Amino acid sequence: MDVLNKVPVREQEPAVRATNFEEVCLGYNEEEAVAEAGRCLNCKNAQCMKGCPVSINIPAFIQEVKNRNFEKAYEIISESSALPAVCGRVCPQESQCEGKCIRGIKGEAVSIGKLERFVADWARENGIRPKKAEKMNGHKVAVIGSGPAGLTCAGDLARLGYDVTIFEALHEAGGVLIYGIPEFRLPKQKVVAKEVENVKALGVKIETNVVIGKSTTIDELMKEEGFEAVFIGSGAGLPRFMGIPGEQANGVFSANEFLTRNNLMKAFREEYDTPIMKGKKVAVVGGGNVAMDAARTALRLGAEVHIVYRRSEEELPARVEEVHHAKEEGIIFDLLTNPTEILVDDNGWVKGMTCIRMELGEPDASGRRSPVEIKGSEFDMELDTVIMSLGTSPNPLISSTTEGLEINRRKCIVADEENGATSKAAVFAGGDAVTGAATVILAMGAGKAAAKGIHEYLSEK
Amino acid sequence: MYPIVRKEKLADKIFLMDVKAPRVAKTCEPGQFIIVKIDEEGERIPLTICDYNRKAGTITIVFQTVGASTERMQYLEEGDSFQDFVGPLGCPSELVDTDIEELKKKKIVFIAGGVGTAPVYPQVKWLHEHGVDCDVIMGSKTKDLLILVDEMEKVATNLYVTTDDGSYGFHGMGTNQLQQLIDEGKTYDQCIAIGPMIMMKFVCLLTKELGIPTIVSMNPIMVDGTGMCGACRLTVGGEVKFACVDGPEFDGHLVDFDQAMKRQQIYKTEEGRAMLKLQEGDTHHGGCGHCGGDK
């Protein structure tokens, strides 16, 4: 066995997967997982754990995999993480746990993410469920939002014996896991729905179709429905547009709309009623994970797809693995390119986009080289669809309807990093609602910290 | 699940339903809307709240069958349920927040077009209950499509009914009726128009000329209805607004109607295709030009 390199993971062929919505990465089987687990050095002072925002006991679970005690491995992971099948798939491990792995100094890091995924998938296939609290403590807590932060916070509190209800505005729980991340990276029925069921199995109630700030407010939940503490995990779902001419034309979508239609509403499947525009030539503006997801979705719907990004490849904020997959599938990268206008035909439809070439200037105060326009380098692209993926910010609905909740100038809720406490007593917050758009695992870490904060607050009360 | 407790056919292709949704009924106000989804495969359809009963926990919706989803909705009966029903969404009508004494000083006229009569009704009713007078012009293409005439009669100070073909009431459009009232010497300080976009556009062209401030309720394509996607974006006074959170009511003289009407067409062929599939089922073998059938 080659100890320096990871046991390779099986994937669908690029040419095949570019035409379907099935999961790209097929994951390890038992033999592969045991072999990969054998590469772990079982460090005493494990660096990998320091890279994990929820501090999973990584060496311990990997040793159990090595010894084929998969159920025990799942128990160890479950102590720290409510969504291992999700995190094993979507965490940027290269900059977290695997980024710190000692094996990575000379050779490749241990494939921690793929092992976590294997354990979670094995547990699901074998009907293993996380264990419910032995007795309830009689305290009621409300969780706003059923994304990764809310699910984690709710799961942790339920394990401590709290009576937890999650309120979700959409018709299905999961937040970005359901509407944002596509099927080919994170299967909805097989993985997300099952993880949500696991949280329910802990005793958590989920009420969908409740928009806090409209259907009811946080103050009412506490005054009228008897909730003693509230966790806000409402995310950052408000899309940004560029503000360039032509942006209201037919065929210009926010990535949120495009992905919601496809992922949540399943527009790619014939039997579902929600329509989606299947463009012939699509430009996705932006370079983050959401841009990659939108681009690879448009490709699977049959389009030629361009990523238009104003900086160079090195600055692409998307995960390396996603960029690599996108390229393999045939996405075209137009780097150092920035749109200046969307060209519209007489009927109001997109017919193209004027772009300008960029170059990277001198590093600014923050050390980042900002892109500068190259004068006179404008050119037109012919297109029928443009998807704007420029990032999102928190929806002001909750902050504007909750008295005494402090927000900063980016409309993010101000909350303590250690325990999630906000400026309002008994109200805690975490995830993208506090940080602005970030990652699934950071949101989970924040949900965890807030669960601890809520437990301390209600124990002292 | 959200059970349908009452269903009534108001006119050809126009249906009324009372749906049990206690959370929505508890907090909704006139001018707001809900989003309904029939079942797992269904799409999310925005509908303005037509009436509500806080005690019974019900919301009244009125819809016209215009596409595949509303076509499917008409077959639901009392006792059936919607899988999802969410709201109230959007901002309440400005009237609700205005001082009652101020409102009493104002001469208000509503212009309702077609199924737009349904969302006008709760506002007129609300004014009536608060002792505020208002005139209502309601119109439709033809007599058979008129809805809620009796109900509106009870709450409007003066009701003017119009039909495009003259089969009932005033022969002509709402705008013609308004012009006639003005010519007869009536004056108004506020107009509220709700109906098809083209009708709201023409009302606004007229009221701008007449100098009557006008509020319209916009009905663009929506998906989530909570501000997370921007499908419903409009240009109002040169600024981009999301109808689902900033509206649905706007100053009609500032709305870019031509753009809004173009945006409504985005899925026309998709809608047409879904409709054909529904009507013809397995017997649909092409010919619509989009389905990839063999013709």
**Does A211 lie in the same domain as A102?**
no
**Does A371 lie in the same domain as A247?**
yes
Q: Does A391 touch chain B (CB under 8 A)?
A: no
Tell me the C-alpha distance between B45 and B36, whole Å: 5
> Taking CB atoms and an 8 Å cutoff, what residues of chain B touch A208?
84
The answer to whether B85 is a known ligand-binding residue is: no
Name residues 330-349 of chain A within 8 A of B (Cβ).
Answer: 347-348
A171–B37 CB contact, under 8 Å: yes
pLDDT of residue B57: 97
| Any domain includes A328 | yes
pLDDT digits (tens, 9 = 90+) for A21-69: 999 999 999 999 999 999 999 999 999 999 998 899 999 999 999 999 9
B245–A397 CB contact, under 8 Å: yes
**Does A195 lie in the same domain as A248?**
no
Tokens of B256: 């870019």
**Does A410 lie in the same domain as A384?**
no
Residue A390: C-alpha distances to residues A243, B49, B67 (Å): 11, 34, 33
Q: Cα A55 to chain center, whole Å?
A: 18
Which among B24, B72, B271 is the nearest to A215, CB-wise?
B24
Chain B interface, best mutation among A211, A224, A253, A278, by max B CB count within 10 A? A211
**Does A282 lie in the same domain as A219?**
no
Q: Does A257 touch chain B (CB under 8 A)?
A: yes
CATH number of the domain enclosing A120:
1.10.1060.10
A210–B224 CB contact, under 8 Å: no
Name residues 263-322 of chain A within 8 A of B (Cβ).
Answer: 265-266, 271-277
**Domain-terminating residue out of A375, A390, A405:** A390
Range(s) of the domain holding residue A335: 241-390
Place B294 in a pLDDT band, splitting at 50, 70 and 90. Answer: very low
Are A334 and A295 in contact by the 8 Å Cβ rule? The answer is no
Average pLDDT over residues A274-289: 94
**Does A64 lie in the same domain as A82?**
yes
Q: Cα B70 to chain center, whole Å?
A: 14
Tell me the C-alpha distance between B19 and A460, whole Å: 44
Average pLDDT over residues A114-123: 96
Average pLDDT over residues A330-352: 96
Q: Does B265 touch chain A (CB under 8 A)?
A: yes
A216–B27 CB contact, under 8 Å: yes
Are B260 and B248 in contact by the 8 Å Cβ rule? The answer is no
* A442 has pLDDT over 60: yes
Average pLDDT over residues B108-131: 94
* A133 has pLDDT over 90: no
Which among B23, B83, B229 is the nearest to A239, CB-wise?
B229
Tell me the C-alpha distance between B104 and A363, whole Å: 63
The answer to whether B232 is a known ligand-binding residue is: yes
Q: Cα A145 to chain center, whole Å?
A: 14
Sorted by sequence, the CB contacts under 8 Å of residue A315 that are 6+ apart come out as A287, A369
Establish, for the pair of chains A and B, how many residue pairs have beta carbons separated by less than 8 Å: 113
Q: Does B22 touch chain A (CB under 8 A)?
A: no
A248–B263 CB contact, under 8 Å: yes
**Does A443 lie in the same domain as A401?**
yes
* A402 has pLDDT over 80: yes
Q: Does B37 touch chain A (CB under 8 A)?
A: yes
**Does A407 lie in the same domain as A342?**
no
Q: Cα A217 to chain center, whole Å?
A: 26
Which among A170, A216, A238 is the nearest to B227, CB-wise?
A238
* B33 has pLDDT over 70: yes
Place B286 in a pLDDT band, splitting at 50, 70 and 90. Answer: very low
Are B21 and B5 in contact by the 8 Å Cβ rule? The answer is no
Q: Does B228 touch chain A (CB under 8 A)?
A: yes
> Taking CB atoms and an 8 Å cutoff, what residues of chain B touch A211?
86-87, 89, 226
* B285 has pLDDT over 80: no
Average pLDDT over residues B17-29: 96
Chain B interface, best mutation among A209, A216, A217, A347, by max B CB count within 10 A? A209
> Taking CB atoms and an 8 Å cutoff, what residues of chain A touch B92?
none
| Any domain includes A133 | no
- Minimal Cα distance from B235: which residue of A? A248
pLDDT of residue A369: 82
Angle between helices A70-80 and A58-66 (to 10 degrees): 170
pLDDT of residue B87: 93
Q: What is the edge-to-edge ordering of all strands in the sheet holding B33-37?
A: B45-48, B33-37, B84-89
DSSP-derived 3-state class of residue A363: strand
| Any domain includes A441 | yes
DSSP-derived 3-state class of residue A284: strand
Q: Pairing relation of β-strands B108-113 and B135-140?
A: parallel
> Taking CB atoms and an 8 Å cutoff, what residues of chain A touch B228?
237-239, 256, 260, 392, 395
| Any domain includes A27 | yes
pLDDT of residue B16: 95
Checking phi first, is residue B115 left (phi over 0); if not, alpha (psi -120 to 50) or beta? Answer: alpha
Nearest-Cα distance to chain B for A398, in Å, is 11
The answer to whether B257 is a known ligand-binding residue is: no
pLDDT of residue B282: 55
Are B84 and A208 in contact by the 8 Å Cβ rule? The answer is yes
Place B293 in a pLDDT band, splitting at 50, 70 and 90. Answer: very low
Tell me the C-alpha distance between B170 and B188, whole Å: 20
pLDDT of residue A131: 80
> Taking CB atoms and an 8 Å cutoff, what residues of chain A touch B224?
169-170, 260
> Taking CB atoms and an 8 Å cutoff, what residues of chain B touch A277?
266-267, 270
Average pLDDT over residues A304-315: 95
**Domain-terminating residue out of A390, A410, A428:** A390
* A460 has pLDDT over 70: yes
The closest of A369, A398, A126 to A237, measured between CA atoms, is: A398
Domains and CATH numbers, chain B: 2-89 (2.40.30.10), 98-215 (3.40.50.80), 218-295 (no CATH)
| CB burial readout B249-263, b (16+ within 10 A) else e | bbebbbbbbebbbbb
Tell me the C-alpha distance between A160 and A290, whole Å: 35
The whole model's pTM is what? Answer: 0.92
> Taking CB atoms and an 8 Å cutoff, what residues of chain A touch B229?
239, 254, 256-257, 260
CB atoms within 10 A of CB B235: 18
Nearest-Cα distance to chain A for B175, in Å, is 27
Tell me the C-alpha distance between A145 and A168, whole Å: 5
> Taking CB atoms and an 8 Å cutoff, what residues of chain A touch B267?
275, 277
Are B59 and B34 in contact by the 8 Å Cβ rule? The answer is yes
Average pLDDT over residues A312-316: 92
* A91 has pLDDT over 80: yes
pLDDT of residue A82: 84
**Does A101 lie in the same domain as A186?**
no
Tell me the C-alpha distance between A442 and B113, whole Å: 50
- Minimal Cα distance from A209: which residue of B? B86
* DSSP code string of chain B: -EEEEEEEEEETTEEEEEEE-HHHHHH--TT-EEEEE-STTPPPEEEE--EEETTTTEEEEEEE--SHHHHHHTT--TT-EESEEEEEESPPPHHHHS-HHHHHHS-EEEEEEGGGHHHHHHHHHHHHHTT---EEEEEESSGGG--SHHHHHHH-SEEEEEETTSSSSEES-HHHHHHHHHHTT---SEEEEES-HHHHHHHHHHHHHHT--EEEE-----SSSSSSS-TTEEEETTEEEEHHHH-SEEEGGGB-HHHHHHHHTTTHHHHHHHHHHHHHGGG--S-SSSS----
Are A237 and A395 in contact by the 8 Å Cβ rule? The answer is yes
Nearest-Cα distance to chain A for B172, in Å, is 29
* A228 has pLDDT over 80: yes
**Does A379 lie in the same domain as A251?**
yes
Q: What is the largest CA-CA distance in chain A?
A: 70
| Any domain includes A36 | yes
| Any domain includes A181 | yes
Number of domains making up chain A: 3
pLDDT of residue A11: 94
The answer to whether B62 is a known ligand-binding residue is: yes
Per the DSSP assignment, residues forming a β-bridge with A393 are: A238
| Any domain includes A135 | no
Chain A interface, best mutation among B33, B229, B266, B278, by max A CB count within 10 A? B229
Half-sphere exposure (CA, 13 Å, Cβ side) for A399? Answer: 24
Checking phi first, is residue A385 left (phi over 0); if not, alpha (psi -120 to 50) or beta? Answer: beta
Nearest-Cα distance to chain A for B159, in Å, is 33
Tell me the C-alpha distance between B152 and B139, whole Å: 12
Are B39 and B72 in contact by the 8 Å Cβ rule? The answer is no
Name residues 84-103 of chain B within 8 A of A (Cβ).
Answer: 84-89
pLDDT digits (tens, 9 = 90+) for A205-227: 999 999 999 999 999 999 999 99
Tell me the C-alpha distance between B76 and B73, whole Å: 6
* Average model confidence (pLDDT) across chain A: 94
Helix then strand then coil, in percent of chain A rounded to 5, is: 35, 20, 45
Place B277 in a pLDDT band, splitting at 50, 70 and 90. Answer: low
% of chain B residues with pLDDT over 90: 84
Looking at per-residue pLDDT, the higher value among A453 and A134 belongs to: A453
CATH number of the domain enclosing A366:
3.50.50.60
pLDDT digits (tens, 9 = 90+) for A138-156: 999 999 999 999 999 999 9
* A339 has pLDDT over 80: yes
| Any domain includes A86 | yes
**Does A384 lie in the same domain as A265?**
yes
Average pLDDT over residues A247-261: 96
Q: Does B291 touch chain A (CB under 8 A)?
A: no
CB atoms within 10 A of CB B158: 12
Name residues 133-192 of chain A within 8 A of B (Cβ).
Answer: 169-171
**Domain-terminating residue out of A361, A390, A419:** A390
pLDDT digits (tens, 9 = 90+) for B137-163: 999 999 999 999 999 999 999 999 999
A215–B87 CB contact, under 8 Å: yes
B43–A208 CB contact, under 8 Å: no
Average pLDDT over residues A371-400: 94
pLDDT of residue A168: 97
* B280 has pLDDT over 80: no
Sorted by sequence, the CB contacts under 8 Å of residue B183 that are 6+ apart come out as none
The answer to whether B288 is a known ligand-binding residue is: no
Q: Does B25 touch chain A (CB under 8 A)?
A: no
| CB burial readout B80-114, b (16+ within 10 A) else e | eebbbbbbbbbbbbebeeeeeeebeebebbbbbbb
What's the CA angle centered on A175, arms A439 and B40, to 5 degrees? 150
* B86 has pLDDT over 80: yes
B87–A271 CB contact, under 8 Å: no
Q: Does B41 touch chain A (CB under 8 A)?
A: yes
* DSSP code string of A323-340: HHHHHHHT-EEE-SEEEE
- Give the phi and the psi of residue A18 in degrees, each rounded to 5: -65, -15
Average pLDDT over residues B91-96: 88
pLDDT of residue B281: 59
How high is the ipTM of this complex?
A: 0.89
The answer to whether B64 is a known ligand-binding residue is: yes
* B290 has pLDDT over 90: no
Among A36-40, A82-86, A321-325, B9-13, top mean pLDDT goes to A36-40
Which among B224, B263, B271 is the nearest to A170, CB-wise?
B224
Among A52-56, B4-8, B268-272, top mean pLDDT goes to B4-8
**Does A274 lie in the same domain as A350?**
yes
**In A330-439, alpha helices (H):** 432-435
